Each structure stands twice: as C-alpha cells, then as structure tokens.
Amino acid sequence: MGKTKELSQDLRVRIVDVHKAGMGYKKISKVLDVKVTTIGAIIRKFKEYNMTINRPRPGAPKKISPRGVAMMLRTVRNRPATTRQELANDLKAAGTTVCKETIGNTLRNNGFTSCSARKVPLLKRAHVEARLKYANDHLKDEPSYWEKVLWSDETKIELFGLNSTRHVWRKKNAAYDPKNTVPTIKHGGGSIMFWGCFSAKGTGLLHRITGKMDGAMYRTILRDNLLPSARDLKMGRGWVFQHDNDPKHTAKATKDWLKKNHIKVMEWPSQSPDLNPIENLWRELKVRVAKRQPTNLHDLERICKEEWAKIPPGVCAKLVVNYNKRLTAVLANKGFATKY
C-alpha cells in the first residue's frame, strides 16, 4: 500500500490547539475532516514528545551498503569506462545482487552521469610536456602579442556534413514527410579541403585545396594566400605565423621559403588543435554553410567562401582576446586535452 498524504504543519498545530481548548477527537474529526485515528496519533505525539512536526518516514532499506557504494565510486573514478554490468558482477562477487538500473541510480545520486567519451588527439608523454612548456612560456604574454598572430589550418567540409544529424520536431507518423528528412547521396556526396587563416582583425583568404597537397603546393598556397591575407589584415611589422607540425609545414624547403620571406613562425606543440582558435572558426563556418544547404560541390565552395568572408571581425577578436584561458586550461589539466 502506498504512503498516505501527510498533514501540513499548520493543520497539525490547529488540531493540538483545539484539543487544548477542550474539543474531543470526534468533534475535531468532523470539523477539520481528519480521521479520528490520525488525530489521536497527533495528540499522543504532542503529549509524548511535545512536537507537531512531520518526522521523516523510513523508506525501503538501501540495496547497496555504504561499503558497496564506496567500491563502485572508487571503480568508476579509476576506470570511467566501466559498465553497469561489470559493477553488478563486482557487487555480486562481494555478496550483493542488484540490477543495472539500481547501479545507474546510485551513480547518478552520487553525481555521476553516463556520457559519450570525447574524442581527442592521442597525446604521448612528449606531446604533454610540449603542451605544458608552450602554456608556461606564453601564459604571461599580453593580448597585444596574440593580436600579431596570423593563425592557419586546413579543414574538410562535407556536402552533407552537419545536416546529416539535423534534429526536427515532428509527430509520430510523419517521419518521412519531406520536411522532416535530410537528403543524402551515396558516399556522403563529396567534400572539399580548404586552407584558411585569420587574426584578431578578421578572416583572411580561404583557399580550396585540389588534389593531394604536398610541400610544393603548400608553399604555393602560402605565396598566393598567406602574404595577401597579411597585407589585407594590416598585420604590420613583427607579425607571427602559426601553423601546426604537419611534415609539409616543417619540410626544409618550406622553412627556407618562410625565412626568405622574413616570416616569423610560432613554435607549436604537436597534437594541439585545442590551442588553435581557428578550430572554433571552422565550426562557425560549417554551421553557417549547413544553414544554406548546398546541393553540389560547386555550391559548397561558393557558399564556404561567402560565409567565411561574412564572419564578423568581432568573433575573431573575441577568440584571440580570450586566448590565455586556453593556456590556463592546459595547465589545469596537466597538459592533456581541454574543452577548447
């Protein structure tokens, strides 16, 4: 049988008060519409304990002992990928049999939530140490330093990229209404690789990469896009170029070209996309392109270049102004990947 509804504190006090005034149980029951047995229990509690408050009701005993809960929490802290079934097997071996739902409820009650593990670049010890060194070396740099950096990277944009996972509001039997579907093409419909750059002053040129990029093609891209972007963005003297440690970027011929053109290159820790704010701009670009729903690769290229040029300089400036937060996050996470 389920729990009965508890009486409010005000009603309990009123019952005690009218009883003190000389009213009997039956009359109180009739006036206040409360069972006689309930009134008797309230009066007895008042006489024995001088209290009218609702005392906590005992629930069903916990299926997992405090010791068992501690063992579960210790396990998931050390091995977050442990499944509920594995925890159930551990408890069973210790003499406690519970279902997976009970284990899930217990973990949630202790602040744990089941989530998909975030995908991050594989970081070896050398990568972690390089990231920590980079963060420590630049942590005290003034915002004016980051304003002189021209960030760059390559990205792949698919024809039906973000649209392939679009969510819609629909009724039960309207799943295949054209308004509620996403058109797809075999093998994804194709994609385009782009090289781009930006600074605190705005976006630079966006260049489509045709075919497989090698060192010679990369140097051509820098000649035709990096230098004009630096001029258009008025980077001035002493600006710094950022690119990652891809072999095409670190090839001797590329280093010689950069030196010949008097371009200062930032020392960069490998496997660190979270330290490059252009990743945020790529996401911004992909969201904008998805909203326009290109239908072929020609449209995709045109829309990408249009939307890239439309990204407000304020968005770029904000990413650069807050750059020190990335460095702080790297140090706080001991060199490992961060939310950025």
CATH at 194 = 3.30.420.10
- Write phi, then psi, for 155 (nearest 5 degrees): -150, 155
CA distances (Å), origin 331, targets 132, 245, 247, 337: 6, 21, 27, 10
* Residue 197 sits in the same domain as residue 77: no
* Residue 81 sits in the same domain as residue 190: no
* Residue 179 sits in the same domain as residue 99: no
* Residue 156 sits in the same domain as residue 301: yes
* Residue 303 sits in the same domain as residue 194: yes
Is 47 inside a domain boundary? no
* Residue 247 sits in the same domain as residue 316: yes
Rounded to whole angstroms, how far apart are CA atoms 39 and 15?
7
Global confidence as pTM? 0.69
* Residue 105 sits in the same domain as residue 251: no
- Quickly tell me which residue has 């990947």 as its tokens: 337
* Residue 105 sits in the same domain as residue 209: no
Rounded to whole angstroms, how far apart are CA atoms 27 and 180?
65
Helix (H, G, I), strand (E, B) or coil at 236: coil
- Quickly tell me which residue has 């091995």 as its tokens: 79
* Residue 93 sits in the same domain as residue 214: no
Total number of domains in the chain: 2
* Residue 140 sits in the same domain as residue 97: no
Q: Which helix (H) or strand (E) holds 37?
A: helix 36-49
- The domain in which residue 91 lies consists of 66-110
Is 170 inside a domain boundary? yes
* Residue 223 sits in the same domain as residue 313: yes
Is 338 inside a domain boundary? no
Q: What is the pLDDT of residue 1?
A: 46
Q: What is the mean pLDDT of each run of 10 residues along the chain (340 residues)?
A: 68 85 86 87 77 60 87 89 90 88 90 82 91 93 91 90 60 69 62 93 94 92 94 91 93 94 93 94 92 88 94 93 92 90
Helix (H, G, I), strand (E, B) or coil at 33: coil
* Residue 181 sits in the same domain as residue 314: yes
Is 200 inside a domain boundary? yes
Burial 264-299 (b: 16+ CB within 10 A, else e): eeeebbebbebbbbbbebbebbbebbbeeebeeeee
